[in-house]
Structure 1
Amino acid sequence: MGQPLKTLLQRRWDDDWLVGPSSRSFWLHLGQLIPVFAAYRASVDSYSPGVLIAESDPLLFLAACLAAWSEGCTVVLANPGWGDRERQQLQALVRPRWDAPVCPEIQGYPCQVVGSQPGQILIPTGGSSGQIKFAVHSWDTLSVSIEGFRSHFGVKAVHAYCVLPLFHVSGLMQALRVLVSGGCLALQPYSDLKRENYLSLPPGGFLSLVPTQLQALLALGGGFIPWLRGFRAVLLGGAPAGRSLLDAAQAAQIPVALTYGMTESAAQVATLLPEEFLAGHRSSGRPLPHVKITILNDQGQPLPLGQVGRVVIRARSLALGYWGFSGKGGLVGSAHPTGLATDDMGYLDDGGYLHVVGRSSSKIITGGENVFPEEIEAVLLATGGVKDACVVGLPCDRWGERLCALVVMNSTELLPDLPERLRSLLAPYKLPKQWILVSALPRTAQGKLSRPQALALAQWILAMA
């Protein structure tokens, strides 16, 4: 759909499209990297050789990703902050050659994605028990999402202010919307933004935040309030936003656009328009033009308006499948001929607005990141000092949910050392923010951990403290 990536890059070549990083440096790096990745592809006995991008510098990330992608490599995106545990999973899934980068100046490594097609990109997402898996997208699926976004907001050129990581679908799609539409992209670390080092973006731009970021900016006040008001929309997603935060944003006249989407759907599939938010609406908005959302019961039958059931998405932006869902690598799943049945529970009202009320799995969303408690519990038990563990998500206006670990210890003296021991094993967002020492954890008659009872126990202990 639309222009091929290679044609698009040629059309925009030398455009001054970046704000913050140097556009000139970007095009220089891209021009140097394209022949490098072309030579790499020609040298590998594979239809579409894999390249894993784990670059922390956003300008170099964009240049490497687009160069490899446009030359027909299969691009695999990785979080540069992943720890040893995550890297071990990557090794099992795509076998990156950490010792042999494609280009010495870039954190981009040869990897094996056997059977992939040219133009595919693997974007990381959570999985069962915290195992890394990738949603497999193509230029076509992402292009559909881009056009749906532009149509939903009625804009031709998308200008975006990005403080989110580019290896996430939330950050990547901002860059691609801008590139496709002829807009400008401001790239800035969130820590720099908090110091009021504003970058200059053309009027009518879009800012994407997770709830914790918006809450922090509102608390800082000062110049942030008029600055936030100046956007066409402040896209807010990635985690549930507390009512107090939304009310404060409305009182400050911030043009918030509540969004619902996921990696599998190439970012948002439903979005509340800012004018609706400022009028008091608190739903996830209506589906974008390329999306159909249905609500099904446990038997897979459509439910009437207003009744809560499983949210099912049908869209041409859906991922082609998963890589690594089986735990051994390989493309599994399908192009979702009957729709993507999500973990989310919600309903549609008579105005066609989507309301998400919760999740059916144990997944915890904290600060916009998907966390699976089973993974953290396994790491805790592997330390040797923990006899039993349960990680729960405590309701939190700032983080959406705050990770809390209930642990049964062999020796209480080991508890202070646990957070530090986990730092090298897990990504920072997976580290519990609250620790509770207990003598035993609630379990069912069959010996299974009772997560609802564990959550209630944690809330009771904290309330009594």
Structure 2
Amino acid sequence: MGQTLKALLHNRWGDDWLIGPSRQAFWQCLGQLSPSFAAYRESCTVHNPGVLIAEPDPLLFLATCLAAWSADCTVVLANPGWGDRDRHQMQAMVDPVWSNPLVPGMAAYPCRVLGAQPGQILIPTGGSSGQIKFAVHSWETLSVSVAGFCAHFGGGPVHAYCVLPLFHVSGLMQTLRVLTTGGQLVLQPYGDLKRGEVLPLPSGGFLSLVPTQLQDLLALGDEFGPWLRSFRAVLLGGAPAGRSLLDQAQAAHIPVALTYGMTETAAQVTTLLPEEFLAGNRSSGRALPHARITIFNDQGQSQPSGQTGRVVIQASSLAQAYLSLGEGIVVGNAHPTGVLGYGSCPGGTGSLVGSAHPTGSFATDDIGYFDDGGYLHIVGRSSTKIITGGENVFPEDIEAALLATGIVSDACVVGLPCDRWGQRLCALVVMDYPNLLPDLPERLRSRLTPYKLPKQWILVNHLPRTAQGKLSRPQSLALAQRILGLDG
């Protein structure tokens, strides 16, 4: 794991490691791009020239990213689907020159990231549903995550079937695990997979999905069952998975590995092993070797097993800083627990200031607890907490109960303004049989305490989600207010 990206690419040069895109086309493209980015770096007048990559073609995106990164440029990954609003944010943060692509016909543009270090890579953590923010990583932080993953699953070449976007940490890390360990990588649009166009991958590989994708594939019946069972693990993360979905996957003997992690941690820091999942465990698993996780209460005290609190992560895979706009420059700040969290300071520039020390700690927004076996359970997010009648409610708890009824296929709980309760619980639900909506309150009574029961119900055809399959709670709240006539 100690070799540089440049050395790794040199050692694997010409390997037949890509499935789907042409292996020859990849190496040819990389060979043509590498001198171009090296020359760009040498000729650029700024200290650390940046390259913003918004290329929609996965092969070109990957070749461009690796060529620019190995040339020690500062790489900024962008969602090719971002619209005008997102591009305006990007313009203010890194000042890309949209009119002057670095390579004709390819969506890679010169940009500036003030304060960046050579070879840093900026991975987006937002967009589409709100404020874009970047977690700033390096080859070293991402390599630590690769090593932790490999140690957790027992080493050897990692083969991966990637249907997730490469600009997202979940897609990028699959690529790095494969490159680093000598494995093979399938790159395929998810739509092609869903249509049954399955590509060959060596046995014992890994498939990464978000819950909505696993739900899609299981709904197609026996067509995908044997294929899903052929993987060493089906890594499931990015959003909470409903109990009914997990029970369905267990019944079908799918080797699901529930994961917990984020862009800031370079993907997962805990992972449940498939054999544990198939035995009925529904936690997020134990910590990977490179991470240490602690639960703290609001007074900064470490919590024992069974007690909930804020999840704090120590790992050398932690992002080195944030780049944000609107909130100002986001830097490492002292958290009440005595470890580093991320806060904001005044300002509106796109400068990159401050960092979390690689061996420091990250105070997440997540609320969770450890059981006696050392398995992490995530309860909800501090920022999504709803206070109703003086009681703290985590909407994820209610949503899980709704999905567990078996008659709700998707759910989002929001808090509406209320003079009496402070916030009134409102559940937006998607149901295959809408006539069963009146049954929901009664079905929840045995699963939830009374103050967690929604007081308002809205039946919808679908819920707004991000490109990564996560519920967009701000859009869901706006939808509820619009339906109820509360948006005026």
Q: Does TM, scored on the shorter chain, surpass 0.5?
A: yes
Equivalent residue, structure 1, for 2:486? 440
Cα distance in 2, alignment partners of residues 359 and 427 from structure 1: 20
Specify whether residues 102 and 57 from structure 1 end up closer, same or farther in structure 2 by C-alpha distance, changes over 3 A only. Answer: same
Matches within 5 A, 1:65-464: 65-126=65-126, 130-324=130-324, 326=328, 327-336=348-357, 338-362=360-384, 394=428, 436-440=482-486
Is the partner of 2:222 in helix, strand or coil? coil
Cα distance in 2, alignment partners of residues 68 and 393 from structure 1: 46
Q: Alpha-carbon deviation of 1:396?
A: 6.5
Structure 1 runs (4+) greater than 2 angstroms displaced:
362-366, 392-398, 426-442
Answer whether contact 1:295 1:302 (CA < 8 A) is retained. Answer: yes
Letter in 1 for 2:356: A
Taking every aligned residue pair, what percent have the same amino acid on both sides? 68
Specify whether residues 294 and 395 from structure 1 end up closer, same or farther in structure 2 by C-alpha distance, changes over 3 A only. Answer: farther
Answer whether contact 1:34 1:71 (CA < 8 A) is retained. Answer: yes
Cα distance in 1, alignment partners of residues 368 and 354 from structure 2: 24
Cα distance in 2, alignment partners of residues 86 and 358 from structure 1: 28
Cα distance in 1, alignment partners of residues 35 and 118 from structure 2: 16
Specify whether residues 168 and 395 from structure 1 end up closer, same or farther in structure 2 by C-alpha distance, changes over 3 A only. Answer: farther
Cα distance in 2, alignment partners of residues 180 and 246 from structure 1: 31
Cα distance in 2, alignment partners of residues 286 and 332 from structure 1: 33
Cα distance in 1, alignment partners of residues 148 and 36 from structure 2: 34
Specify whether residues 358 and 395 from structure 1 end up closer, same or farther in structure 2 by C-alpha distance, changes over 3 A only. Answer: farther
TM-score normalised by L of structure 1? 0.80
Is the partner of 1:269 in helix, strand or coil? strand
Answer whether contact 2:235 2:259 (CA < 8 A) is retained. Answer: yes
Answer whether contact 2:34 2:67 (CA < 8 A) is retained. Answer: yes
Any idea what the Cα deviations from partners look like across 1:320-371, whole Å, max 9, x if unmatched? 01012624212234225641000100001111100000001139999xxxx9
Specify whether residues 286 and 67 from structure 1 end up closer, same or farther in structure 2 by C-alpha distance, changes over 3 A only. Answer: same
Letter in 2 for 1:236: L
Is the partner of 2:383 in helix, strand or coil? coil
- Runs of 5+ unmatched residues, structure 2: 329-347, 386-394, 400-411, 415-423, 433-461
Cα distance in 2, alignment partners of residues 316 and 179 from structure 1: 20
Q: Alpha-carbon deviation of 1:21?
A: 0.4
Specify whether residues 427 and 99 from structure 1 end up closer, same or farther in structure 2 by C-alpha distance, changes over 3 A only. Answer: farther
Answer whether contact 1:241 1:397 (CA < 8 A) is retained. Answer: no
Q: Alpha-carbon deviation of 1:249?
A: 0.1
Answer whether contact 2:257 2:272 (CA < 8 A) is retained. Answer: yes
Please say which of residues 40-49 and 196-205 is displaced more in the overlay. Answer: 40-49
Specify whether residues 94 and 159 from structure 1 end up closer, same or farther in structure 2 by C-alpha distance, changes over 3 A only. Answer: same
Is the partner of 1:343 in helix, strand or coil? strand
Is the partner of 1:55 in helix, strand or coil? coil
Is the partner of 1:440 in helix, strand or coil? coil
Cα distance in 2, alignment partners of residues 63 and 397 from structure 1: 43
Q: Alpha-carbon deviation of 1:48?
A: 1.9
Q: Alpha-carbon deviation of 1:221?
A: 1.3
Answer whether contact 2:238 2:468 (CA < 8 A) is retained. Answer: no
Cα distance in 1, alignment partners of residues 60 and 11 from structure 2: 20
Cα distance in 1, alignment partners of residues 144 and 9 from structure 2: 18
Cα distance in 2, alignment partners of residues 396 and 207 from structure 1: 27
Is the partner of 1:102 in helix, strand or coil? coil
Any idea what the Cα deviations from partners look like across 1:393-435, whole Å, max 9, x if unmatched? 846799xxxxxxxxxxxxxxxxxxxx9xx9xxx9897695856
- Runs of 5+ unmatched residues, structure 1: 374-389, 399-418, 443-465
Is the partner of 1:361 in helix, strand or coil? helix
Letter in 1 for 2:295: I
Answer whether contact 2:114 2:350 (CA < 8 A) is retained. Answer: no
Letter in 2 for 1:14: G
**Greater relative CO (CA pairs within 8 A, separation 6+):** 1
Answer whether contact 1:186 1:199 (CA < 8 A) is retained. Answer: yes
TM-score normalised by L of structure 2? 0.76
Answer whether contact 1:245 1:397 (CA < 8 A) is retained. Answer: no
Is the partner of 2:227 in helix, strand or coil? helix
Any idea what the Cα deviations from partners look like across 1:289-335, whole Å, max 9, x if unmatched? 00000000112110111100000000000000101262421223422
Equivalent residues, number: 397
Specify whether residues 345 and 103 from structure 1 end up closer, same or farther in structure 2 by C-alpha distance, changes over 3 A only. Answer: same
Letter in 1 for 2:152: H
Cα distance in 1, alignment partners of residues 175 and 431 from structure 2: 29
Q: Alpha-carbon deviation of 1:438?
A: 2.9
Answer whether contact 1:244 1:397 (CA < 8 A) is retained. Answer: no
Q: Alpha-carbon deviation of 1:36?
A: 0.9
Cα distance in 2, alignment partners of residues 67 and 11 from structure 1: 15
Specify whether residues 427 and 203 from structure 1 end up closer, same or farther in structure 2 by C-alpha distance, changes over 3 A only. Answer: closer
Answer whether contact 2:370 2:376 (CA < 8 A) is retained. Answer: yes
Cα distance in 2, alignment partners of residues 3 and 134 from structure 1: 26
Specify whether residues 299 and 333 from structure 1 end up closer, same or farther in structure 2 by C-alpha distance, changes over 3 A only. Answer: farther
Q: Alpha-carbon deviation of 1:3?
A: 0.6
Answer whether contact 2:315 2:360 (CA < 8 A) is retained. Answer: no
Cα distance in 2, alignment partners of residues 220 and 245 from structure 1: 14
Cα distance in 1, alignment partners of residues 427 and 111 from structure 2: 35
Specify whether residues 396 and 116 from structure 1 end up closer, same or farther in structure 2 by C-alpha distance, changes over 3 A only. Answer: farther
Cα distance in 1, alignment partners of residues 44 and 231 from structure 2: 46
Q: Alpha-carbon deviation of 1:130?
A: 2.8
Answer whether contact 1:83 1:427 (CA < 8 A) is retained. Answer: no
Q: Alpha-carbon deviation of 1:257?
A: 0.1
